[in-house]
C-alpha cells in the first residue's frame, strides 16, 4: 500500500480524487490538506463521501508520504511547494497548470513529465513528478494527435467545445451561479484559452503544428466536455478510422466508436470516446470526456498507476450512469 496526501481537498477535483483513492486497492489516504477547512470532517465538505471516507481535514502535511496530489488553483502549486518540502521518494502529481509547459517543467530539482498517457507513457513510467493535463487539453489532444502524427494537417483546425459548470471550480461567480447557467449557454476566452499552449506543445512533439481556432463554451450541465473539431482531409473515412484505432489500440481509456457518441457515455468514468465523420473533404472528430475524471482526477490516478508499474486501469473501473 502507498500512502497518499491530497493538497486542496475542498474543491471538485479534490473531492473526485478522494472518492477514487478511497476505493483504489493499492492506496491508503493518509491526509487531506485544507487551509480553510482544517478540523472539519471530509463529509461536511463533500456530503457524497459520508459513510465511505471518514477523515478530518488538516492544515499539516506529512513530508514522507509516498504520493502527494496538488489540487490547488492555477498558479498556487509552485508557491505551496516553496513553503512545504517533501521527501525525494515522494511522488508529486500536480493537477494545476504550473508545470505543464516545457519552460516551467523543472522546479526544485524535479522535472515534471507532461502526464498524457496516450502521448508520454514511457516517460511517465520513469517519472517522479507529473504535470497532469488540463481538461479541455485532454479532450482536444486525444482528438488531434493521431491526425497530427499519421496524416498531417494541411490547414487550420476549427474547434467547438462545451464544458459543464464544474469546470469553473467550486467558487461562485456570476457565470457559475445556477440562475445564470440554467437554460443558458455562452462562449468565453474565444481563441485564447489557457490550454492551447499545452495542446500546441503536444502537436509539435508528434508532427507539424497547425493553427487552432478554439471556441470554448459554458454549458447548463454539471460535468463533462463535448468537443467537435473539423479540418480538411483528402483520405477516406475508413482509412482515418483505421489510423485512430491503431493509434489507441494499446491505450485502454481512449476508445474509437463507429457509432455516434454522446456525453453521458463517459460521465463518471476515465474514458475518452472518439467518433469520426466525413463530409466531402472535411473530417469531423468528436471527443467526449468527464472533465473531473479523465480531465483531472482519474487521469492523475492513471498516471500514478503507470509510474508505479501497476495495471493502468487499477482503481478506475468506473461505469457511466447513462440513464
d(CA 228, CA 10): 32
Global pTM value: 0.95
Q: What is the pLDDT of residue 73?
A: 86
Domain boundaries, the chain: 2-132+294-308, 135-292
pLDDT tens across 169-211, in order? 666 677 777 877 889 999 999 999 999 999 999 999 999 999 9
Active site residues: 135
Close Cβ partners of 36 (under 8 Å, ≥ 6 residues apart): 10
Q: CA 210 from chain center: how many Å? A: 22
Buried b (16+ CB within 10 A) or exposed e, 197-234: bbbbbbbebbbeebebebebebbebebbbbbbbbbebe
Predicted confidence (pLDDT) at residue 38 exceeds the cutoff of 70: yes
pLDDT tens across 70-99, in order? 999 888 999 999 999 999 999 999 999 999
pLDDT tens across 136-156, in order? 999 999 999 999 999 999 999
At residue 167 the predicted structure's pLDDT band, cuts being 50, 70 and 90, is confident
Compute the average pLDDT of residues 203-228: 96
CATH of domain 135-292: 3.30.360.10
CATH of domain 2-132+294-308: 3.40.50.720
Q: What is the pLDDT of residue 273?
A: 98
Rounded to whole angstroms, what are the CA distances from 293 to 6, 34, 45, 184?
16, 21, 19, 24
Nearest Cα to Cα of residue 24 among 313, 322, 323: 313
Amino acid at each position: 500500500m502507498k500512502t497518499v496526501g491530497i493538497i486542496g481537498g475542498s474543491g471538485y477535483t479534490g473531492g473526485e480524487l478522494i472518492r477514487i483513492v478511497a476505493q483504489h486497492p493499492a492506496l491508503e489516504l493518509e491526509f487531506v490538506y485544507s487551509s480553510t477547512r482544517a478540523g472539519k470532517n471530509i463529509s461536511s465538505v463533500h456530503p457524497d463521501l459520508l459513510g465511505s471516507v471518514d477523515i478530518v481535514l488538516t492544515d499539516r502535511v506529512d513530508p514522507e508520504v509516498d504520493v502527494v496530489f496538488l489540487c490547488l488553483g492555477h498558479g498556487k502549486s509552485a508557491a505551496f511547494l516553496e513553503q512545504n518540502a517533501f521527501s525525494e521518494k515522494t511522488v508529486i502529481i500536480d493537477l494545476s497548470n504550473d508545470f505543464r509547459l516545457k519552460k516551467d517543467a523543472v522546479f526544485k530539482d524535479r522535472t515534471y513529465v507532461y502526464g498524457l498517457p496516450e502521448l508520454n507513457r514511457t516517460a511517465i513510467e520513469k517519472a517522479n513528478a507529473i504535470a497532469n493535463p488540463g481538461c479541455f487539453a485532454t479532450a482536444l489532444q486525444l482528438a488531434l494527435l493521431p491526425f497530427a502524427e499519421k496524416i498531417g494537417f494541411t490547414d487550420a483546425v476549427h474547434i467547438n467545445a462545451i464544458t459543464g459548470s464544474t469546470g469553473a471550480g467550486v467558487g461562485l461567480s456570476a457565470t457559475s451561479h445556477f440562475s445564470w447557467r440554467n437554460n443558458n449557454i455562452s462562449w468565453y476566452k474565444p481563441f485564447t484559452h489557457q490550454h492551447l499552449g499545452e495542446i500546441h506543445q503536444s502537436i509539435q512533439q508528434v508532427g507539424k503544428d497547425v493553427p487552432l481556432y478554439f471556441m470554448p463554451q459554458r454549458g447548463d450541465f454539471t460535468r463533462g466536455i463535448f468537443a467537435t473539431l473539423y479540418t480538411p482531409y483528402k483520405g477516406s473515412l475508413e482509412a482515418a478510422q483505421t489510423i485512430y484505432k491503431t493509434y489507441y489500440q494499446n491505450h485502454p481509456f481512449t476508445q474509437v466508436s463507429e457509432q455516434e457518441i454522446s456525453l453521458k457515455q463517459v460521465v463518471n468514468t476515465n474514458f475518452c470516446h472518439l467518433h469520426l465523420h466525413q463530409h466531402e473533404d472535411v473530417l469531423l472528430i468528436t471527443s467526449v470526456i468527464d472533465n473531473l475524471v479523465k480531465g483531472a482526477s482519474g487521469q492523475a490516478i492513471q498516471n500514478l498507476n503507470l509510474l508505479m508499474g501497476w495495471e493502468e486501469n487499477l482503481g478506475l473501473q468506473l461505469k457511466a450512469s447513462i440513464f
